[in-house]
Amino acid sequence: KNKAIKAEILFKQAECYRYTSKFKKAANFYKKAVKAKYDNGNPIAIYWHAKMLMANGNYEKALEQFKKYYKKVPTDTKGEKGLRSCQFAIDWLANPTRYIIGKMNVFSSKNNDYSPAFGNRDYTKIYFVSSRIGSSNDKVDDRTGEFFTDIYSSSLNKKEEWSKPKAEGVPINTENHEGTLCLNQNGTTMFFTTCQSENRKSLGCDISISQLKGKAWGPLNKLEIKIDSNTTIGHPTISSDEKHVIFSADMDGGYGGKDLWMVTKVARGQWSEPANLGPAVNTDGDEMFPFLHNDGSLYFASDGHVGMGGLDIYKSELDANGIYVSAINLKYPINSSADDFGMIVERKTEKGYFSSNRRVWTNPDGIENKLNGSDNIYQFELPPLVLTLQGVITDTKTGAVITGA
């Protein structure tokens, strides 16, 4: 009967739905919390109501709520960023890029399948992370409600068909979580996220390294870098010359949330102190799932830059001094109102794979497909521009038409 407590319960229900990615229900309960004057009209409920409307792709209504939030807290840059994001998203949906995307059904399960990684130089092997049943641990993680994640792989045969995904064995997969990974160009060294838990309590994550010994992966070594022992790190990507590793972590000296950091190899098995990639890449939100292209450009996911909602995929390029100076949003249809992340791109063509938990995707034939909201892997390609030139060739002096030209 206490109105303040009732409003607080409504807000906390909304928070629970947001953290479990039930965005429609979250939007509804934030709306109720605002109406119930949560915390004497605390505008944070308005902000999250706007964010959840955005996550559902309802940009027009989200725009209205961001305007309300901005009016109440004009000093908070989140409001202005939300306004710009909605305006850009409406424009990007109306004017999509030329990327063609398709869902990789052969990699898909009812559970989460995400973070693809190239397994060799000729792109005929793909590794990815999945929470499907049937690997090293068929128990459910109480914190996520999903099975523990493991690393799977699939290979392309001579008929250009992908094999049924197969779980990697010990020591790669264990009864704990194994996550986002990368391999060197030859596919002989794997860097991947390993997370430990005990008695239902998370003990944090590290980056492990394994070398391929024949057809089996060898014992694990930790990526030895100078960080606080309590710091959780993950999402590794390695440069083509194997001298640099970029990873995601929430550490002192960052810009807030998870940032992207880089270490440089100084000797065999030894790495420099982590260097933050700077404000062009990192924000007060989360930057995760980096991928280093052969040309030095960086693809990553962020919820802190202007975007379409959730995590969006961005591309950043190096300047003459070797500093990342931009964060270019890849727009629709690569990005959506949901989480889009984990993009990998081939060396010579604008072609590769990414992950998304979008609930709707339109195939190249224009047919709309409804999905269950779990993470899925998509392939993408930017077809080359085919230009046609036609006209009449004339003589520059006389103006006469030159036939047969």
Residue 8: pLDDT over 80: yes
Render pLDDT for 226-258 as a digit per residue (tens, 0 to 9): 888 788 999 999 999 999 999 999 999 999 999
Residue 200: pLDDT over 70: no
- What is the pTM for the complete model shown? 0.91
Render pLDDT for 333-347 as a digit per residue (tens, 0 to 9): 999 999 999 999 999
Closest Cα to residue 69, out of 53, 56, 93, 88?
53
Tokens of 195: 């997370």
Q: Report the Cα–Cα distance between both ends of the chain, in Å, rounded.
A: 87
CA distance 210 to 172: 8
